Amino acid sequence: MTNCTQESFQFPRVNRRVVEANFNGGKITSDGGVLLLRQADHLLGLSDAITQALTDPRRAASCDHDLKGLLRQRLYAIALGL
């Protein structure tokens, strides 16, 4: 039987630190899954595609956060069960 699971994931470096996710930690829980979600979103371009399909009627000069940032925050929160 073929094993089609990936043992670990490499993420882009953060400053000089290596970020890696693997599944050798036993039964633990963490919000670290958001890193995997962010990487998948980046590779698929999901939030970019959704942002392009939406219009933002707000006055840009009055906004602290752009539409893509707000969309990602909401998508990731829903995926994490928040």
Digit-coded pLDDT (tens) for 25-69: 666 666 677 888 888 899 999 999 999 998 888 888 888 888 888
* Full-model pTM: 0.56
- Extents of the domains making up the chain: 8-79
Long-range CB contacts for residues 20-26, cutoff 8 Å, separation at least 24:
none
Closest CA to 12 of 46, 37, 41, 35: 35
pLDDT at 49: 92
The one-letter amino acid at 82 = L
Tell me the three state secondary structure of residue 31.
coil
